[in-house]
Amino acid sequence: MPARLGRYAVRRRIGAGAFATVWLAYDEQLDSPVAVKVLAENWSEDLAVRQRFLEEGRFLRKVESPHVVTVYDAGELDDGRPYLVMSYADQGTLADRLEIDGLTPAQALEVVREIGAGLQTLHERGVLHRDLKPANVLFRSIDGRVRAMVADLGLGKSMEVSSRLTVIAGTPSFVAPEQAQGEPLDRRADLYSLAALTYLMLASRAAFSHASLSAAAAPGPPPPLSTPERPFPPEVESVVARGLAADREQRWPDAASYVGALESALGPLAGDIGEPWLPLDPHLTQLGAPPSIKVDDTPLPEPTPPRRVRRWLLGTVAAVVVLAASGVGGYVVAHRGDPEVTVTDDESSISVTVPRAWDRHVATDGWRPEGADGDLPAVSLGTAGGWTDPQSGAQGVFAGILPGDELPAQLPQHPECGQAGSRVPDNGQLGPSATVVYSDCPGGVTVERVIQVTEDQLLWVQVRSHDRGTANRVLDDVAVHGM
């Protein structure tokens, strides 16, 4: 952990991902905690990634709103990496709240109000967010009141650029169909994501659980919002359904009109909301000790290195994995307030984001599949050391590169599972793929996916999860870099 980033004293790490690390720091001149986002070292020479990082700061700097994360400062470290200094969200993320307690209708309506206000301000400044999801809604306490803020404009684009944009990106379960199709975008793409968030907060389940962006391109109508346990008036159903219309011409024209309609429909049911509308979590407000502090004059222990993980079989591909744990390597833990971690292999070729409990047994230094001349990039992590055992109920994911110029005729078989789904072909963001889902397994669900990422390389992904929704999210967050 660095002692300082520019003039800011570092307290602790609060988040990390494939492209950047976020540190909680202290502005000693202004006597205030701040979040400092630093571009990852392995991307510092990639001009496209560097430009996107700096554009995020410029987009956020255009906006003056209590409901959009503020950028206070920017700079460059001695090694040339850029950093952004932003407001510190001391109350976690919407993903945290939904994972732990959920929200009442009144609380959900207030989140929509505040995020809608943030989006409206972005749009008025000519900026699209393009990746609105629970992990990108942050909560911050100001004078004893919690405020919701839009964060992470890593995929943000100016509307002028988005009107010509053809690059496909976003989170499948929250992305608008036209964005998943690579069409030119306008503010209604963000409104679709806001409606998807609304549905999730009210129903305590997502409107869609798309396994890929290609599935999000043709979503169909969402299931009814109401259930016997959580009923809502038809007026609320109608407002949210219009926000989730696949045809953008049928959606609300802007964030203000959507929020106003939802207030009219849901307000009588939600009732008045008192203060604090969202309870403060005092644990989250703790800034932590400065980096120089020791316990009983003993330095804090180093992170436990990942353990060796063995035992893989790729059906007719006959690929045997050998993973050695020679150090933490590319193990990057994303304690960014949401209940997830991001792990990158030692060569920064593969990254995957998973539930935080899945990082108990990690290996990142590659594998040697049959037919390969040497080690290839791979990453493995799970809730227990034996998560790959067919009879284990543990959860985990493996993602590794192997040689191959076409998809295998057969994916790995799982006779321990009660049901085997049919082979599903797809042409997703990473390339042509084949997926098979097995259910009624000892641990719940097992998913096998093989993707043709280059002309002569395949990416094999295996996920074992207690439920299909979690497996889908993990599959969505597997990424390759530099290929």
247 catalytic? Reply is no
Q: What is the C-alpha to C-alpha distance for residues 113 and 115, in angstroms, rounded to an integer?
A: 6
Instruction: Write down the H helix ranges in 328-396.
Output: none
37 marked as binding residue: yes
Q: What's the gap between Cα 293 and its chain centre?
A: 32
Element (H, E) at 454: strand 444-454
* DSSP H or E stretch at residue 270: helix 255-270
- Check the CA dihedral 212-214-220-221 and report its sign: positive
In angstroms, the first-to-last Cα distance of the chain is 30
Phi/psi of residue 12, nearest 5 degrees = -165, 165
Q: Which of 27, 73, 101, 131 is catalytic?
A: 131
Are the beta carbons of 24 and 288 closer than 8 angstroms? yes
What distance in Å separates the CA atoms of residue 249 and residue 38, rounded to the nearest whole number? 39
Reference 188, options 110, 264, 136, 247; nearest CA is 247
Instruction: Dig out the tokens for 476 from the structure.
Output: 């969505």
In 154-254, which ranges are continuous DSSP H helix? 159-162, 177-180, 188-203, 213-216, 234-243
How far is the C-alpha of 86 from the C-alpha of 149, rounded, in Å?
A: 12
Binding residues for ATP: 37
So which residues are the catalytic ones? 131
Binding positions: 37
